[in-house]
Structure 1
Amino acid sequence: MTHDLVAALSPLLTAEASAEAYASGTEPGDLEQAVWLRLLERLDSDGPPLDPEAWLRKAVRAEVRRSRRTNRLERPYDTEPADDSGRGPEQLALTAARHRALRDAVRRLPGRCPRLMEALLSPKDLTYREIAGELGISQGSLGPERSRCLGCLRRLLAPEVAAREVRG
């Protein structure tokens, strides 16, 4: 029964979808798919329509109205969100792992280096004057202190970086 109904309605649906789709900004195949889905849902709940051809025409018009409404209300992105940075989920996960490793190494630094490095890595983009005020040291000593802390950080990270490199 269902197979016969689909076979009988298929040419009519193709013609109706082709006629209505472009005016609504929809692809004919998408429109056909939506109407077939509506028919399947109807067959599950109410059984086959009494006048399948009339039902099909009404379903096509209803899907076109829905599509127009959707197109009017939804705005596409300029680019896909994942394409914004050009990085996929794997790259984002690797970057997050590197940031965690860096933060862990910064916490293991001696003296006031952890606080200085956290201030330098802060997303607030603090100035030297703000960092010096926050740490309670002179602005002139920030450069040499930063240099010592970066040297310590390099020594801490060298074994980890060397272990992760591909050899051979």
Structure 2
Amino acid sequence: MTLLDHVPAPPAEGAGDAGRALVHALHALVRAEAGAEAQAAGIEAADLEQSVWLRLLEPGREALADPARRVRAAVRAEARVARRRVRRERAYTAGEPPGDWAGSPERITVGADERRALRAAVGRLPGRCPRLLEAMLAPHDPTYREIAGELGMSQGSLGPMRSRCLGCLRRMLAAEVVAPELRGMER
């Protein structure tokens, strides 16, 4: 089956042949124009070409006075529609939360609260753990050698001490998390 088999026949007798002749005459031009505009519009050339044919062959359209100019105008109009659609639409994947709130004020506030709670919990740790974890959380991302020099301890003891401090921090934060209250039939 070809594209010509899907061209709707106009109501007038013999006009179907005119529609088929139009498709034959403009097929190469529509394909070339759609191919040239598709990448900039952010869609496949075949999709743009199909949209242009729908625009050109929809019922009620007057006859093409200057076919080449009408084809170029239709391609550009459909490309504009496609660019707007590409800017507005975004594919949803099941692994991500709906909406992009990475830079939103809510996410910034939640992140600041989480960092503040972490720093407060680190400050409550026993022994040299607060100094060690504060050094590891430093914004300039120091190396183990720099941290060891700053704290006056051997570089080899940083890993085991970090592990013990993080374990202590994990237990402290787990104790602070309140279990959800049971409601209704769950009791």
TM-score range with shorter-chain normalisation?
0.3 to 0.5
Structure (1 or 2) with the greater helix fraction: 1
TM-score by length of 2: 0.41
TM-score of the two chains, using structure 1 as the length reference: 0.46
